[in-house]
Structure 1
């Protein structure tokens, strides 16, 4: 696959010029994990939170919202790219109401996965519960907008699904009980089956325009590099994890084709961040980065959530030089570059 390298700011400006026309979808509706959680975990009892400084220091007003980044995350950029608001609020955030959620809402929960057992690890919201919140949202939307208008919003909105990394890194490769039940290939098939059931459920509730997100090269996350005592593929990445991610993405891509053929009216795309993310890690200077092996926050080797707080003296001063914000999550700049790529090559179908 060939890539055209250009400074990230130039990419952004080009993207904005192309896409700031009238909104082509009425709302962005988000399901998933910390890659897209706008702050739902703030409202539940879990150790996995980020609603404190320095998280959010580059967000609007320098406000920590519960997003696992120094600033915005992909749904925010996608919403803005479709001519909607510049950020998508969390459904459980008491600051917002159905008026705000009518043009975009996030049900995601950091730490969750396709597998219900994954959400149990850090006591977060399981995927089935995200669907229950979505059903509740539909009721409120109909009461607010009326049946006809609400039905249009439900069927015409773009649904973003980004989930799966935790199933492998926080579940399969961490819990002996999961490994004893499945081979890696069997577990991938189990997750794909769960993904299929989930997509069919929200399709049954009215969703038609869906972006199913793939996994990043998860073996290159700073946390995995730090614990990779066996070396790696020359750059410290855990290659076997990257292979698993790439294989799983292949199965998800096949699922997208299958469901597009089976479900009438379905317009589903596969948004795969793997290759552009891999290019950023391999050639960071081409995208304006200086540091890729460690994260900005704290020592950048293993910290995230409460280990990444404002009292840590090692946190970097300029996150735009770093690919990763904490040991598990990208910086705002990385999120924007990956989102711009997906908008131009995949999501443009809905523009």
Structure 2
């Protein structure tokens, strides 16, 4: 019996005659905050930047691109997993143009959130502004590849949304205004409403394959563990923050279910890094790490951005030993593990 051989030959014939028979992702399109920003903040008047060493020391050419990491971030690994280029360029980066963005573009801005009040804190791009840039991108794409090809790219692309942490840590729990307006439960509903409207707007613009990012265990970030220590709570993960993340993720899961039922032809998935990241933090050695409580950069307790510069003598020599690169962001190695997990457990439906 040579059925397997004949089957392979038949598949080859089908693919040759009908190349569209197997769905292919032509582009990765990214919205969100510093978890996915590949350098848009470089072009903004904000203190929240990372376009200097030692950021990017493990990126291609050792170049600090504005990614809040020693190397690559999740959209880069996800783009590569879909057979596209190994990094997704920032839309505002003058090094790139529409020919570079046709198969991947990043609109994310470090420090932003669903809530516009969050982006106001550090003068970064509000979430709605990322949408405006995306609309501008669509126009450029149509001019570059033609209306028909642009429509195909827009509908077959995978859209990654990753934000929300700053809404709680930078806004709700730091500033009084939202706490005076909302209970934490109602604030979650408020953010979820914005997320839903954003996805519906993307749908109207032609998007069909969307990944909504859930929150990480934000109480386990080194910055929050340091704050916990100085509050006299021992410096372990802030489980109150983690419970809020879990609660919000549950609401996002419900939102995903509703959107899939409501919008014809859409496929929305929840990409949830919470459990894999918490496992890594609690059992770092099982994943090849030595340190999880503090970060590689500087003292690893509270530094990020300009407090994590090349003149700081305390920065570790090997970031692969650390779960976190700076006090708020995972190392490249962690990003790779989490991205592989997300691909296997959520984004595989788009392969």
How much does 1:345 deviate?
1.3
Q: Distance in 2 between matches of 1:227 and 1:190?
A: 27
Alignment of 1:1-351 (within 5 A): 24-228=24-228, 229-230=230-231, 232=233, 236-351=236-351
Whole-Å separation in 1 of the counterparts to 2:320 and 2:311: 21
Q: Highest Rg: 1 or 2?
A: 2
Tell me: CA distance 1:255–1:56, structure 2 relative to 1, closer, same or farther (3 Å): same
The size of the alignment, in residue pairs, is 329
Do the aligned partners of 1:38 and 1:88 also contact (CA within 8 Å) in 2?
yes
- Normalised by the length of structure 1, the TM-score is 0.92
Gaps in structure 1 of 5+ consecutive residues: 1-21
- Structure 1 runs of 4+ aligned residues shifted over 2 Å read 229-232
SS of the aligned residue for 1:227 comes to: helix
In the superposition, the TM-score normalised over structure 2's length comes to 0.92
Q: Which runs of 5+ in 2 are unaligned?
A: 1-21
Contact 1:23 1:84 in 2 (8 A): no
Question: Highest relative contact order (Cα 8 Å, sep 6+), 1 or 2?
Answer: 1
Counterpart CA distance in 2 for 1:23 and 1:207 is 15
Match of 1:10 in 2: none
Please state whether the residue corresponding to 1:313 is helix, strand or coil.
coil
Q: Deviations over 1:52-86 (max 9, x none)?
A: 00000000000000000000000000000000000
- Let me know the Cα RMSD of the aligned residues: 1.1
- Aligned partners of 2:218 and 2:250: how far apart in 1? 15
| 1:13-65 residue CA offsets vs partner (Å, 9 max, x unmatched) | xxxxxxxxx98200000000000000000001000000000000000000000
SS at match of 1:286: helix
User: Deviation of residue 310 (structure 1)?
Assistant: 0.0
